[in-house]
Amino acid sequence: MQMRNQVEWVLHCCSLLAALPEGGRLSTKALADFHGVPKEYLSKALQSLSQAGLVEGSLGPSGGYRLAKPASEITFLDIVEAVEGKGRNFACTEIRRNNPCLQGHDPKGPCQVARIMWQADAAWRRELAAVKLSELTVTLERELPADLQERATTWVAARLGGSV
Amino acid sequence: MQMRNQVEWVLHCCSLLAALPEGGRLSTKALADFHGVPKEYLSKALQSLSQAGLVEGSLGPSGGYRLAKPASEITFLDIVEAVEGKGRNFACTEIRRNNPCLQGHDPKGPCQVARIMWQADAAWRRELAAVKLSELTVTLERELPADLQERATTWVAARLGGSV
DNA sequence: TCCATAAGGATATCTATTATCCGTAAATGC
DNA sequence: GCATTTACGGATAATAGATATCCTTATGGA
């Protein structure tokens, strides 16, 4: 049971978008180059983010993506669910109903096994919901050496779209 | 990102094994019939449990599986990890190293994205580790009508192996 | 001896993930 | 208006993983 590659990608992409100057945008191509991932497939993931209302795409030259709302209002859970879906990580297929000696019995509510597994799933989501995208930016600025941050800023600036 | 079918199966199987009388065993066939799942494939999952030291298989007629230790010493996490593996649900592929403008930089320790995702994974596992298999038995006895419990007991008794 | 069983290997089938390609529409600059 | 750049969506291919079955082997019990 493993999350998709795309989840890692978009988390890093959002991190980069969060650090963009006001009004700035980055194209799929720039984001793909920056992270060394295939552009076409990354595009699909970014479209998921767009549909979830987390980022906004714009067309034309100097188009690209930017966050649709402040990084402080976007959680890790938002991003993960945009790509991975909101479905639980445990699917109960109600095998208790297959039981040959319990036929005719119509159990109410989810079975205890499912309840426990869903409770753990909820704990996982709670943890992700507690982390804002903005926290990522703060940590990165604190941990990444200043000269590298500047190189990154320069790299991004050279590819920046939008009304900057 | 969804867990395997086998996880649901073995959780229910363990639940049944935990309710067995002292020394009793159930064969793969009985467990498969009880839950309405394919015997051959369930067998693979039970072998995983066996390798993890959670259940003990024995050969010959009147052979089958029983718990390898008291249900109070087996957690949901034990069972889930036996089938699903102990690997984290988020794999960090270190895409930050692909960054074209950060070449030559050798970051120490996991990146913040991975740390956050792993923290959520840990919360999920913590939740599962907190639930003992024995709790499942207790709940089942409390919630399942007495007559159905008896029918199940009879059904199981007719297929019971081991030294009963 | 004979049968039932766990265990493990080999293989087939199906589904989801990963990836690529192409067409469309919109925005920008000329 | 026209060419270019971009997001977006559909279609499809390639790969990996999950699901399932079959067969052989070794062992225990009658």
Window 3-62 of chain B: CB closer than 7 A to strand D: 4-6, 37-38, 40-41, 43-44, 58-62
Instruction: Calculate the average pLDDT of chain A.
Output: 96
- Residue B65 and residue B17: Cα distance in Å, rounded? 8
- The residue ranges of chain B whose pLDDT is under 70 are 164
Contact B145 A92 (CB under 8 A): no
Contact B36 A99 (CB under 8 A): yes
The answer to whether the C-beta of B5 is closer than 7 A to strand C is no
List, in order, residues 6 or more apart from A36 with CB less than 8 Å away: B95, B98, B99, B100
- The residue among A161, A124, A155 whose CA lies nearest residue A1 is A124
Q: Which nucleotide is nearest to B47 (CA to C1')?
A: C7
Window 124-163 of chain B: CB closer than 7 A to strand C: 161
pLDDT band at A80 (very low <50, low <70, confident <90, very high): very high
pLDDT band at A78 (very low <50, low <70, confident <90, very high): very high
The answer to whether the C-beta of A153 is closer than 7 A to strand C is no
Whole-number pLDDT of residue B153: 95
pLDDT band at A164 (very low <50, low <70, confident <90, very high): low
Whole-number pLDDT of residue A151: 94
Residue A94 — left, alpha, or beta (φ > 0 → left; ψ -120 to 50 → alpha)? left
pLDDT band at A96 (very low <50, low <70, confident <90, very high): very high
Whole-number pLDDT of residue B92: 97
- The residue among A139, A122, A29, A36 whose CA lies nearest residue B113 is A139
